[in-house]
Amino acid sequence: MKLPLLFKVYRRTLALTSYVLPSYIGVLHAKRFMTPTRHQRPEWEEKIIAGSEAKMFNAQIKSWHWGTSGPTILLVHGWDGRGSQLGFFVAPLVAAGFKVIAIDGPSHGDSPGNRTNLREFAEKMLAIQHELGELYGVIAHSFGCAATALATDYGLITQKIVLISSPCDLQDIFDRFSSFMQLSPKSKYYFQNFVETEARLIVKETKMHEMIARIPHPVMVIHDQDDPEIPYSDALKLTKNLAHVDLITTKGLGHRRILKAKQVVDNVIHFMGEY
């Protein structure tokens, strides 16, 4: 990926400063790291949510609802995303007899807030289930997969989970970000410490594989071999030696186009339809 010259200068300036003012630069990056970017919905997403009923949960999470009967499935987006990104699943799920709810996570899309973290995201999911009652399934993407796994550890009850483009080792995310931003070792410490303090969790102790292993029901993991953001190796590590987890591998769909692929939608509908 070719980076703009201005960004390279900005990054290098902060990288050098991180050796002189490690705490300041570390906290600066941490706050930016936890601040999602809101993107405008493309036309195809607007058309899909136009056919929904919009609601605001008591947890201050904006949601869109389709279908009037059947088990409920929750659609959970990734970082910088919004629920309507999983819109290609809506019509097939409703046709299969499900109610579907897409949410905009905290500080994402049309939900209020400026800064968020993994724990808050997971706690909001748990609050939504408490408000809804029974929840049959969750279909999550990217960061939303980590939030879903953590939510199950906190008590989220569901019968089936689909994780698309999921990370495995959360420490790798912090390491890759620190390396990309060229932070000094001390600045990296302050960066991660600030995030962990605000999120009230220790990254190295938040292990995706262990959380998935504790889920007492079927899980489907879908990952593309050419994912440029979360490597396919994460999917292999995530599913290793877990009999209740199925791995579906795709090729050439990347990190986001995978959400629109017919083969992916068909696999998910078949998996969810076995109830």
Q: Name the residue ranges covered by the structural domains of the chain.
A: 54-169+207-272
Question: How many Å is the maximal CA-CA distance in the chain?
Answer: 60
**Alpha-carbon distance 17 to 261, whole Å?**
44
Interior/surface letters 134-156, b for 16+ CB within 10 angstroms, e for the rest:
ebbbbbbbbbbbbbbbbbbeeeb
**Per-residue model confidence as pLDDT tens digits over 168-188:** 989 999 999 999 999 999 999
Residues forming a β-bridge with 161: 138, 219
pTM for the full model? 0.95
pLDDT at 10: 86
Residue 1 has pLDDT above 70, yes or no: no
**Alpha-carbon distance 184 to 16, whole Å?**
8
Least confidently predicted of 175-184, 191-200, 266-275: 266-275
Residue 104 has pLDDT above 80, yes or no: yes
Amino acid at 30: A
Query: Collapsing DSSP states into helix, strand and coil, what is residue 233?
Result: helix
Give residue for tokens 């300036």: 13
Enclosing H/E stretch for 225: none
Tokens of 162: 């689909």
Residue 6 has pLDDT above 70, yes or no: yes
- What are the percentages of helix, strand and coil residues in the chain, rounded to 5? 50, 15, 35
Q: Within 10 Å of residue 101's Cβ, how many Cβ atoms?
A: 24
CATH tag, 54-169+207-272: 3.40.50.1820
**Alpha-carbon distance 213 to 168, whole Å?**
12
**Per-residue model confidence as pLDDT tens digits over 31-70:** 999 999 999 999 999 999 999 999 999 999 999 999 999 9
**Per-residue model confidence as pLDDT tens digits over 13-35:** 998 999 999 999 999 999 999 99
Separation of CA 48 from chain center:
20
Identify which of 65, 49, 69 has the alpha carbon closest to the alpha carbon of residue 57: 65
DSSP for 33-97? HTSPPP-PPPHHHHHHHHTSEEEE-TTS-EEEEE-SSS-EEEEE--TT--GGGGGGGHHHHHHTT
Average per-residue pLDDT in the chain? 95
pLDDT at 275: 47
Residues forming a β-bridge with 247: 221
In the chain the first and final C-alpha atoms are separated, in Å, by 43
